[in-house]
Structure 1
């Protein structure tokens, strides 16, 4: 899909209150192929807690950070472009 190239990824999870087990497994496995870094953007306490728990219990093979706004997330990802 990405033709063997790696990219940084911006993931906006604002408004997400839960994830199915299937979605979590996909994001932690197949969804991690050919990524350089991940910026998760949250703006709701529930999505922030969900993201923190995900990162606490799943070691990701790429640098991953949580942000509260798009601008900061894109600045972080720029270093991986």
Structure 2
């Protein structure tokens, strides 16, 4: 609820507020991280050529990325 005031204070100091969203989901062994497991179950991650989940790195861990062109991914993200 104080975010608008915080941002206004930044602007008064000629600073900018730049929010980011790291949509990468930490990749873990099955059964360890439910968020990743649910995404695997619903097949919502971005795939590469051989239908394997694209794995990248977010904040030093391997991560899978939801494919937001997939309607199931949008529902899952909610």
Give TM class, smaller chain: under 0.3
Computing the radius of gyration from Cα coordinates, the structure with the larger value is 2
